[in-house]
Amino acid sequence: MAKSKRKKRIRMLVKTFLCCIYLLISFVLIFCSFRLYEKDKEIIKWKDVETTKQYSTLTISQMSEAFAVIKEEDIQFHFVIEQENEKVWHTYLIAIKPSDYAKYKPIIDYTYERVKTKQNPITIYGYPVKIPNKIKDLAIKNIKNFVPIENKVVLTEKNFEQYLTDTYLDTTKEKQKDLNYFIIILLLMSFVLLVLTIFTIFDKDKIVDEVDHILEKEIQESKKHKKKKNKKDKKIKKDQSNDDIEVI
């Protein structure tokens, strides 16, 4: 009876340990999945963009009229200024659909001093796209008509990327909803572990059965070893008792 209770206690400890391990790993996998999901949803600031696959955002305070058009793609290009404060500003290129021009017209009119009312900055979104050479040439020719007078930098092909970067923000591209297979794999793994936890709780886990088998084997081996030891001890005692007998 005592051995049966001991076996049940050991089995319960093994089950508890396995359930804790399964749940811990499941929690880690789910947390990693969540972090990856959040990263996929993240919108990168334009100045921090590293690849053309990152959905980006840019807040503009001034914007030029279109200086180039690609009719085949139905897009037109503008210079924009991201003004962080009164003394720091950055010039970039963006592409918009001609049909969206009315959305940007108030800030364009304010930029060219056609209206006196200051316009609120506009936050735009899109994907980075490498600037084609033809657009780059047109930007170099037209930048002088847009940048503030106090800017003495002469834009050339050599310093173009230093001042305008090598990409433009394409606002015509909507955020892509790519399927992240790595997240799916992590979630499947966590689901399997949760199923294993349930199996373990209801004594359906073969690992626990295997542990039982190993424990039973160890107990049997321990019994055999104990019997051998007892026999050996008895023999030693018998030999010792015989040695103690005096022959007359």
**Using CA atoms in the order 207, 209, 210, 211, what is the torsion angle rounded to 10 degrees?**
90
Instruction: Name the least confident of 53-62, 143-152, 158-167, 234-243.
Output: 234-243
The verdict on 148 and 63 lying in the same domain is yes
The verdict on 122 and 164 lying in the same domain is yes
Is residue 42 situated within a structural domain? no
The verdict on 102 and 76 lying in the same domain is yes
Is residue 247 situated within a structural domain? no
The verdict on 160 and 196 lying in the same domain is no
> Rounded to two decimals, what is the model's pTM?
0.60
Instruction: Name the least confident of 11-15, 172-176, 228-232.
Output: 228-232
The verdict on 135 and 195 lying in the same domain is no
Average pLDDT over residues 202-224: 64
Q: Amino acid letter at 169?
A: L
Is residue 242 situated within a structural domain? no
The verdict on 138 and 221 lying in the same domain is no
The verdict on 203 and 104 lying in the same domain is no
The verdict on 158 and 75 lying in the same domain is yes
| Predicted pLDDT at 248 | 46
**Using CA atoms in the order 149, 153, 158, 162, what is the torsion angle rounded to 10 degrees?**
-90
Average pLDDT over residues 45-58: 85
Q: For the chain, how many structural domains are there in total?
A: 2
- Domain of residue 203 covers 2-36+182-235
pLDDT of 59-104, one tens digit each?
999 999 999 999 999 999 999 998 766 566 788 999 999 999 999 9
Average pLDDT over residues 142-167: 79
Mean of all residue pLDDT scores within the chain: 79
Is residue 241 situated within a structural domain? no
What pairs with residue 165 in β-bridges? none
